[in-house]
Structure 1
Amino acid sequence: MPSTLVWGVVLGFAVWAILKLSKTGSREPGLPPGPPTTPILGNMLIFPRSHVHLKFTEWARQYGELYSLKIGGATLVVISSAKMIREVLDKRSSTTSDRPNYHVATRVNSNLDMPWTKYGPVWRNLRRAAHDILMKSACDRHIPIQRAEAIKLAVDLLDRPEGFFTHIVRYSSSVILSVCFGVHCPTFENTFIEEFYNNQRHWDNLLKPGNSPPVDVFPILKYVPERWASWKGECDFVGRAQRKLWQGLMKECVARMKAGKRNDSFMEYIVDRKDKYGLNDEEVGWLGFALVEAGADTTSVYFQFFILMMTAFPEVRKRAQQEIDDVVGPNRLPMLEDFENLPYVNAVVNEVIRFRPITPTAVPHATTTDEQVGQYVIPKGATLFMNVWGVYHDPEYYEDPEVFNPDRFMKTPFGTKPGADDTAFRNDFVFGAGRRICPGMHLANNSIALVVTTLLWTFDFNPAKDPVTGKIIPADPNKISEGIILTPEPYKTDIRPRSQARAEFIRKEFAAARPTFEQFERSSL
């Protein structure tokens, strides 16, 4: 009898396991629709390994503004309309602001890097501190160094225009390091910048879909020995490098504070108030690193795309320059307050963002409870993708969405078709949504306004010519490299000052900005 009972239990368990396994990968009742699944794997075999945003957008046109994917037993929900972003991520932000379980991020930074931190007390403490230092009034105090750095960028382009990619990287790195840690980087040949961007390349490679195994779908993969799992060594390398970078920055900051040489950087403020925010030293360091990581990479990529568009579409550049000339004139540089009086330049800025959103699928969210959205149920623990590319390239709302056309923003505030219902639209979806929206948007917007107007006032950007044949080398906006962010592939452009007088004026302004830089140059970085 006991033997019969044992075999009965074994048989029952086997039947249960088979039934459960047969349902794995299937779309549960109530989920939004999506591509057909296969047993166990779900949509894993058709999940894109590259150009994820394009496949997500293709599926959105087929399955709708809210659709689902199954990766094994995990559920992914893709949000591809402004209305659904507002409904799911903004209105329900208290339950849709978690991050998915992501073993790679946990291994790299123990989930203390704020963009990847799970929703909970640690994230709330980090977010509250970031909000306080990055609110508009706090960012406005740093406009002088941002303006000075924009002038320095222009001087770098005068001296060595062919190095514009590295000049842009130096600019964005130096701005965020000055503002956050009080450290100015006068040249690209800087140990910190080189180490930071080398690390970012490794980190970005880890984050690309398909570059690490689906550990979060099949947790048993965590236990594969490192000699058979090269991704583990890569995670550890990136984690050590990131920790070394922020530890060096914090050491400089604290030493300067002790020496009585403060320069009003953000991290000075946080160090003084870490107990108020409930942060320990490690969390403070990771917060600072997260701000540098977000500010340096995305800002530099925006300007790379901006110069590419000004090169590829000279008629747009000339019209923007004419507007600046009409408002500002030739005898002074544009100021931040001029930006609101430059509607076409604003339209250009917004069209670059729409046409080539830097984070086309954003950083995924996750749900902490079941959420009923219309006729569908998004289950607890589902991963939520915000398909920014799909929103900004939707032909229902945008006329010829694959065409670069700033004029669309002269007709409607969000560039949408006249008469379209754009009540849920924003021009800042690239900064995210809900409680996870990027707290650094004010700092980024100030940088964009100052650099765009300064460069357009100073320079012409034209397609480069082959030095041997003399033929024009077209600047192609469609050549894009991708990771978790989109970047233009290296391209050539002919950058020249609009006049000798403007070049001389920029150099005089740079000399006058010298005192602004001095307070940020007491560093050994």
Structure 2
Amino acid sequence: MKQWLLCLGTSLAAFGVYCLKRARNTKGLPPGPKPWPLLGNIGDFPPPGTPEHEHWSRHKDLYGPISSVTVAGATLILVHDARVAHELLDKNARRTSGRPEMVMANKLCGFEFIAVCLTCDGPIFRRYRRLMHQELGTKTSSARFQDVQEAEVGRQLLRVLKDPRRLDDHYDATSTSMILRMTYGYNIQPDQPDTLVSLVKQTLLDFSLAASPMFWAVDLIPALQYLPDNFPGASFKQSARKWRKNSQASAYVPYNFVRSQMASRPGTRPSSYVSKLVETLSSSPSVSSERSNDKINSDKDNRSGKEILDREDEHAIIWTAASLFGAGSDTSAMTMRIFTFAMIKFPHVQSRAQAEIDRVVGSSRLPGFQDREELPYVNALLKETLRWWPVAAMGFPHTVTEGFEYKDYWMPKGAVILPNVFCMLRDPAVYARPHEFEPKRFLESRLEPDPRDEAFGFGRRVCPGRFFAEASLYLNMAQMLAVFRMSRVLGSDGHEVGVEALDHVSIKPGVLAHPTDFECRVMPRSEQHVQLIRELERRFPFAPGDAGKLALLDDAKPGHFV
């Protein structure tokens, strides 16, 4: 009992000191609702069931392009204007590229490295970004995975033809398989649940809960992490232990799979992000023997000691690979869902895109990467999908690492900056009729601002795989449009339901802007298109899954193969 009282007293004392210290930084903050003493604006946060971007967008009308709230002395700065966001997060990137002190997600759950967006702006963060940029950060480097993208989108067309009612599942399988093959050279189970996919998907769900800004009391009062596990209110520690186990496994299981395959099948496995970096960063024993204490020998039974990998290099490979999957799988599938919703809500846009594809490509083959420059409307449609419904509606959190003045405001050290991307990309002062889905806004006659500058993030925390993601989305959208017609479902009278039947579709609360459920009808455009799809089975046969090989791995512990 004395220990509990001591912990509680220490926590309350730390809380008081923290609040007093942070209170000194509130002078000159951007405008916002009046805070309560000590508690701040705890009552001004989004109520349950309300999407964050929707709640905070009201601040723009009340306080202008930038606003702020405080909770227990911690400052949250909301940015609702693209120009202000670029000034704060791009031009002042040196001061605003930190990550929030998220005790729950980072220290307790172990997501600090699995999500590069949460990694500190220091040597580790810069090394991670450098490796990802090296392998994926340019159009040229990401283009080496085009064969993977073509195969997975082709298999998706076959799945949709076979069972169009499971379109969401097919989008999910395509994005998941594409990223797992690119990152690890791993093939998912084609017709049944996959062990690795289930593990990683659960980890992403855990992350979305653990990383909710200012949701966990331990993020506001870090001393709570030292409470005994059975102390009232410390149930978060039980969740953290479970989520940490998942985060570690989702990073090490696929990495160990790659090392095992490289050992047992040298030179025969397709190149992947992990295998390429292992080969690039490994060095021969003769070069590294003098630093043997700082190196990790590969499993000598399988590799005969031929490769030696630095511990820091291995750590970087493991966690940047995990980050790539975490950042890309859900967002790509969700963007395709939004694309589908837009096609059935605005059928004239779909018709114009299909007419362009028919004119440029014809109906004897599918559009490919080689056609992209000749399909300006399809490219505009991709941009409009990113603008009309950005999946990262509130962007990624940035933290001020050094206090500075911005115009008439003070940006205090430690403040968290959240860019309201949804609000920026629906700004009527920037985009005409922003609630309408109009790809032509990005054609030469109008040339409204490119939404990718906001949709993929800001400053040093811009999405490192944006070129791979964008290329995947282009190919998926172009080929779906080429062979299928997406439309509203039929009503009891045998005719399409009216567009008003889609009015119920909205955004689910959460870190990502998931659309609520909606129904659609997907039909091949003609029998000729059906034959075109069926020819893909010969080009891209479904490969046997690799899940069975995971059972051969002893466990997911670090260094199992090193």
Q: Is the 8 A contact 2:218 2:225 kept in 1?
A: yes
Match of 2:6 in 1: none
Match of 1:233 in 2: 238
Letter of the aligned partner of 1:29 in structure 2? K
Letter of the aligned partner of 1:133 in structure 2? E
Match of 1:445 in 2: 470
Letter of the aligned partner of 1:169 in structure 2? D
Where 2:486 maps in the other structure, the secondary structure is: strand
CA spacing shift, 1:477–1:513, aligned 2, 3 Å = farther
CA spacing shift, 1:329–1:182, aligned 2, 3 Å = same
Aligned residue among 154, 157, 173 for 1:154: 157
How far 1:426 sits from its partner (Å)?
A: 4.6
Letter of the aligned partner of 2:273 in structure 1? F
How far 1:218 sits from its partner (Å)?
A: 2.0
CA spacing shift, 1:110–1:143, aligned 2, 3 Å = closer
Q: Distance in 2 between matches of 1:26 and 1:399?
A: 42
How far 1:20 sits from its partner (Å)?
A: 9.4
CA spacing shift, 1:329–1:70, aligned 2, 3 Å = same
Q: Distance in 2 between matches of 1:119 and 1:24?
A: 22
Match of 1:328 in 2: 361
Post-superposition Cα deviations, 1:327-368, rounded to whole Å, max 9, x if no partner, equal: 111111101121222222122211111111000111100111
Q: Distance in 2 between matches of 1:407 and 1:286?
A: 40
Where 1:372 maps in the other structure, the secondary structure is: strand
Structure 1: which 5+ residue stretches go unaligned?
A: 1-16, 417-424
Q: Is the 8 A contact 1:23 1:39 kept in 2?
A: no
Q: Distance in 1 between matches of 2:239 and 2:343?
A: 38
Give the TM-score normalised by structure 2. Answer: 0.83
Letter of the aligned partner of 2:259 in structure 1? V
2:170 pairs with 1:164: no
Structure 2: which 5+ residue stretches go unaligned?
A: 1-14, 283-308, 551-562
Post-superposition Cα deviations, 1:70-124, rounded to whole Å, max 9, x if no partner, equal: 1221111122222112211111212211101001122111622222111111111
Match of 1:202 in 2: 206
CA spacing shift, 1:74–1:274, aligned 2, 3 Å = farther
CA spacing shift, 1:187–1:139, aligned 2, 3 Å = farther
Q: Is the 8 A contact 1:128 1:277 kept in 2?
A: no
CA spacing shift, 1:469–1:522, aligned 2, 3 Å = closer
CA spacing shift, 1:381–1:255, aligned 2, 3 Å = same
Q: Distance in 1 between matches of 2:173 and 2:251?
A: 18
CA spacing shift, 1:91–1:477, aligned 2, 3 Å = farther
Match of 1:5 in 2: none
Q: Distance in 1 between matches of 2:445 and 2:329?
A: 31
Match of 2:523 in 1: 496
Match of 2:294 in 1: none
Aligned residue among 205, 217, 220 for 2:220: 217
Q: Which one is further off, 428-437 or 29-38?
A: 29-38
Match of 1:115 in 2: 117
Q: Distance in 1 between matches of 2:237 and 2:277?
A: 33
Q: How does 1:276-287 map to 2 (within 5 A)?
A: 279-287=312-320
CA spacing shift, 1:490–1:265, aligned 2, 3 Å = same
Letter of the aligned partner of 1:245 in structure 2? S
Aligned residue among 341, 362, 371 for 1:338: 371
2:505 pairs with 1:505: no
Q: Which one is further off, 497-506 or 334-343?
A: 334-343
CA spacing shift, 1:187–1:243, aligned 2, 3 Å = farther
CA spacing shift, 1:196–1:19, aligned 2, 3 Å = closer
Where 1:428 maps in the other structure, the secondary structure is: helix
After TM superposition, the runs of 4+ consecutive aligned structure 1 residues lying more than 6 A away are 17-24, 275-278, 467-471, 519-523
Aligned residue among 438, 443, 446 for 1:405: 438
Q: Is the 8 A contact 1:89 1:97 kept in 2?
A: yes
Match of 1:90 in 2: 90
CA spacing shift, 1:464–1:229, aligned 2, 3 Å = farther
Q: Which one is further off, 159-168 or 283-292?
A: 283-292
Number of matched pairs = 498
Q: Is the 8 A contact 1:371 1:377 kept in 2?
A: yes
Post-superposition Cα deviations, 1:215-263, rounded to whole Å, max 9, x if no partner, equal: 2222233234434333222222122112112222111100111121331
Give the TM-score normalised by structure 1. Answer: 0.88
Post-superposition Cα deviations, 1:13-68, rounded to whole Å, max 9, x if no partner, equal: xxxx9999689668722222222221112212111143111122110222122222
Q: State the identity %.
A: 29
CA spacing shift, 1:385–1:293, aligned 2, 3 Å = same
